[in-house]
Amino acid sequence: MPIKIFLSVAIAGALGSSLRYLVNFAFLRGNTSALPYATLTVNIVGCFFAGLLYSFFETKLSSYTYYAPILLVGFLGAFTTFSTFALESANFIQGNALPKALLYIALQNLAGVGAVFAGFGVVRLLPH
């Protein structure tokens, strides 16, 4: 494993987690909503960009082995919060809010997969 890629992934991870923190902070200011929209937002946005970047690297950029781990693993891996999603879902279930948990789980998964396909679609629209 090249040290340059390793360090680049680490730096991208720091940037992704910092942006995740800022999104969380922005949503929490005065927000007392029923669902954790900050987590939902970063996961959907992250899924969209995962689809977009993956598709772009596969179809438009012949030599992507350097950039893919930096952006997909480092930045997006730190930006998205699947572990937080799982914890929040479990907390809804433990708090006897099963309908809210099921809604949240369905939104995360359906919208996330849909966002990946939307990212694929955007890349298909780009000129060769």
**Terminal-to-terminal C-alpha distance of the chain:** 32
- Predicted local distance difference test score (pLDDT) of residue 32: 64
Number of structural domains in the chain: 1
Integer-rounded Cα Rg, in Å, for the chain is: 16
* pLDDT (tens place) for every residue of the chain, 128 residues total: 889 999 999 999 999 999 999 999 998 876 666 788 899 999 999 999 999 999 888 888 877 778 889 999 999 999 997 888 998 999 999 999 999 999 999 999 999 999 999 999 999 999 98
pTM value?
Answer: 0.80
Under DSSP, the state recorded for 48 is H
Q: Are 116 and 47 in contact (CB under 8 A)?
A: yes
Domain that holds residue 39: 3-125
Distance CA 68, CA 54 (A): 7
